[in-house]
Amino acid sequence: MRVISGSEKGVKLKTLQGHTTRPTTDKVKEAMFNRIGPYFHEGKVLDLYAGSGGLGIEALSRGCDFAIFVEKDSSQYRQMVENIRACRFESKSETYRNDATRALKAASKRGLRFDYVFLDPPYHRHRLSETLTKLSSEGLVNDEGLVIVEHVQDVHLQGTYEKLEQIHNDRYGDTVVTIFQMKEEE
């Protein structure tokens, strides 16, 4: 796995091997960022269920200002911190070893709002509907901000979650990337 493009293009990212890890392939990551970018002039990112941090790191490499990475597993968390350090993004990021629900609650209390939220949970241990609803109801996504969800094809997501509206759904083999956009306040 590597950084595909931007300031840290080509930097190899380490991942943990095993049945509990499923890093986003370079092919899917490139297609995902071509759909939402491909480059950014600024933006705040939340990489929830971050794993090795590949999605948030890619967003920073492509021009986002700041990213918050959340990973519950301690081994994955250590690997993620090493990858952020390898890309010299420590000053542009915060890392938390926490579960998604607690992380969203903490972000809400801090009044944080994100332009890009990446959700790539363990495929069969997810609570995507609950997470998408909470992102919308807690106002954690800026107007016109995007929530990018990676999941398997047997996971069916609604077209809307409060003010989050599905705008794309692309399949890459067994992987599906569904993109939601926050509707503007009227």
CATH number at residue 34: 3.40.50.150
Q: Does any domain span residue 101?
A: yes
**Residue 48 maps to a domain:** yes
Beta pairing, strands 164-172 & 93-96: unpaired
Of 100, 92, 99, residue with least CA distance to 117: 100
Q: Residue 103 in contact with residue 77, Cβ under 8 Å?
A: no
In a domain, 5, yes or no: no
Q: Is residue 14 part of a domain?
A: no
Q: Is residue 128 part of a domain?
A: yes
pLDDT of residue 23: 79
**Domain around 111:** 26-182
Q: Would you say residue 159 lies in a domain?
A: yes
Q: Which two tokens stand for residue 65?
A: 């200002």
**pLDDT tens, per residue, the chain with 186 residues:** 899 999 999 999 999 876 456 678 889 999 999 999 999 999 999 999 999 999 999 999 999 999 999 999 999 999 999 999 999 999 999 999 999 999 999 999 999 999 999 999 886 667 899 999 999 999 999 999 999 999 988 888 999 999 999 999 999 998 999 999 999 866
The answer to whether residues 20 and 41 touch, using CB atoms and an 8 Å cutoff, is: no
Closest CA to 90 of 99, 98, 100, 80: 80
Cβ neighbors of 173 (< 8 A, separation 6 or more) are none
Alpha-carbon distance of 73 to 126, in angstroms, equals: 14
Report the DSSP pairing between strands 93-96 and 141-152: unpaired
Is residue 53 in some structural domain? yes
Number of domains forming the structure of the chain: 1
Return phi, psi of residue 45, to 5°.
-115, 140
Here the tokens at position 146 are 């995007």
10 domain residue, yes or no: no
Who's near 159: CB < 8 A, 6+ residues apart? Answer: 165, 166
